[in-house]
Every structure is written in C-alpha cells, then in structure tokens.
Amino acid sequence: MSSYHRVTIKNLSGILVLWFFASLSVIALAHDKTGIPQKLLVGTMVKPPFALKTADGGWEGLSIGLLDMIARDLGVEYELVEYDSFAQILEAVEKGKLDVVTALAVTAPRETIVDFSHPFLDTGSAIAVPFPVSRFGLLHFSGQFVDRFVSLDFLIVIAMLILLSLAAGASVWLFEKRIGNIMFSGKGVKGLWQGLWWAMVTMTTVGYGDKAPKTVGGRIVALIWMYASIFLIASFMAAITASLTVGELSGKVRGLNDLYHVRVGTVPHSEPWNFLTQRGFATRPFENEIDGLQAMVDGEIDAFFHNEILLKYLSKSDFPGQIHVLPEIFDHDYVSFAFPQGSALREKFNRALIKIMDSDDYSQFKERYIGPVQ
C-alpha cells in the first residue's frame, strides 16, 4: 500500500474517532446522567380545563400547570407542541417525536402504544342540571314550595297526623266524658271534634289550656301523646326540609334513572353519549358542551350529561351560578401523562408527580379550574 493511502486511511480514522466523541458530547449535553432530556418535547392540544390557549398565545390549564411544577422539580425545560387530535399525538409518540403527552385518558388500546404515569385525576361522566334558585329567584322558590305542599306524599303525611291525633283525642274524650268533664262534654261527632282539637293543640305545643284531662286514664293518654308529638313534629319538619332542599338543588333530576323521564342532551359520539345510548336513554345531540349547557339554562332540556371535570370547569368559567353538577360519577376514567414505551423519564416523572399531588399548593391550584373536590 502506498504511503499516500496509508496517510489517507489514518486521517479518515482520526476523523471517525473525533466524530464519535463529538456525538457523545452532544448526547451528554442533551441528557443528564439518567438519560432524561434537558428539554422535553411535550405534545398537547386544546382541551379545557387541562390545556387552554391564552390571549397572548401561551398555555395554561390543569395539566399544563402540573407539568410546569414537575419540570421545575426535575430541573428540566420543556417545549409544547400543539396537535389537532389525540390520534395525531399518539402517532407522534409511537414514532419517538415526543417525550411526554399531557392529559391522556387511560384506555387498554392506548396502553399498547404508550406508557402511562400514575393517574393525576379520577373523573368520568356526570349530570348537570339547572340551578333553579339563581335562575328564577323568589318566584321559582315559591312555586316549588307550593308544589311540595300539594304533593301526594305531603297530603299522606298530613292525613296520618290527623288520624293519630284523632285516635289520641278520642281516647281522652272517652275517659273524660265518664266523669262529666265539661271540657269534653260533647256527644258523638262533637265529642270527637273536641278530642281532636285538644290533640292538635297539644301536638303543636300551642297549649291554649281551654281543654285538659282530669281522669287518670286521660292524663296517661295525654302524657304518651305529648312525648309522641315531639317525635312526630321533629320527623315531619326534617322530612319537609329535606324535600325542599333536595328539590331546589336537583329539580326533576336527582340521579341517572331520572334521565329516562326528562329531556337530556349530550355531545354525539363521545364517551358519555356511548354510555347513555348503550343503556337506552333518548338524548338530544349538541355540537359542543357550551351549546348543550346554554340550551339547558334556557329551559330547552332538563339535564346535560358529559365529562364531570369539563362540566365543573364550565360551571365556574361560563355559567357561574346557573348550573349544578350532581356529585355521582358514571363510567370512571383515569387521566395521566403518557410517554413512549420504555421511556427512562417515566419513573422520575412519577416520583415528582406523587410529591406534588400531595402538596397543598396543588390542591389550591386544582380548585381554580374545577372547584373543591366533593
């Protein structure tokens, strides 16, 4: 081999060695000793209340704020990359174009594509109903109050109280008429009326004193009736109070089964829509959540069924004092961050995530978007 070729090969070998070490230097600068990138590429899309665009083109939201806390804890920077759909985000993760994805619902098909962090939110579908007192004021409350007092349940309770009072009054009257007590001197219907009057006055603790038993038997009945009246009146008032309170909060809808008998709306081809249609509920479709909730506030539908977290966020941001989200959750979902399979970042991310979620700062931050946890 000529000396020229030997020099050329030697130079080429030197270049390759330099390139190898230069590559290692670049990798070392881009990653820490654990293999975690110093600047993360984070995939996201507009999804209230998890990720929202600000007026100046920045980002905020529940998952964005949590991501910011985790990045500070890990000592890394991040760059948000916006996508139009979750399908595009999953494809980018699968091809290794992203390090993290914000706010992805945990599902079995997605688990085959990505690795999930610990869930940072337990959510699902919920029922939103109008908040009637704020919407209709005193007039609506008065109407609800009258409706309760002419309802069949209320009339049955009143009838039972009258029958019990009649039984107590008749017992006293039978004892007192034997000794000619002038306060219970009536005969037949008149005597029963006198006994009923005494029993009702005693039960309501009015205590006019115009009638009082004198016989031992009458006084024993009166004593029993006075103690029984305390229990009856307390139970009656508690039942009426509970009926009015629950009625004001939920109106026609107090749970899932009530949706069979009212007008309910949701967004077509969403998870809540699938949940309702699979169970035979008739639903009215709306293009988006805002349109559906506005229709409910306007009285066009009686309830709106959608994602619990989004409903709570919209009740604070767009419909304050106008809608109420019932506490029961259906079709539970868990929301997590997502990573490429086998990512070295996941374990470090989980440790920081758990520490932050246990802090009071995160609880207060979360209330900004969805209110206190019920």
Query: Over the stretch 29-84, which tens digit does the pLDDT of each residue have?
Result: 444 445 577 789 999 999 999 999 998 989 999 999 999 999 999 999 999 999 99
pLDDT of 239 > 50? The answer is yes
Nearest Cα neighbor of 195 from 206, 181, 219, 211 is 211
Residues with Cβ within 8 Å of residue 334, at least 6 apart in sequence:
105, 106, 119, 121, 122, 123
Question: Cβ distance 112 to 315 under 8 Å?
Answer: no
Nearest Cα neighbor of 250 from 293, 178, 303 is 303
Q: Which domains does the chain have, with CATH numbers?
A: 31-113+341-370 (3.40.190.10), 127-138+252-331 (3.40.190.10), 140-250 (1.10.287.70)
Nearest Cα neighbor of 173 from 199, 200, 191, 197 is 191
Query: Over the stretch 281-296, which tens digit does the pLDDT of each residue have?
Result: 999 999 999 999 999 9
Question: Cβ distance 330 to 290 under 8 Å?
Answer: no
Question: Cβ distance 265 to 292 under 8 Å?
Answer: yes
Between 303 and 140, the higher pLDDT residue: 303
Query: Long-range contacts: 131-134, Cβ < 8 Å, 24+?
Result: 131/249, 131/321, 131/322, 131/323, 131/324, 132/248, 132/251, 133/248, 134/321, 134/322
pLDDT of 2 > 70? The answer is no
User: Residue 50: its pLDDT value, please?
Assistant: 93
Helix 360-370 with 345-357: angle, nearest 10 deg:
80
**Residue 266 dihedral angles phi and psi, to the nearest 5°:** -165, 175
In the block, residue with structure tokens 């009625």 = 247
On the CB side of 16, CA atoms within 13 Å amount to 6
pLDDT of 4 > 50? The answer is no
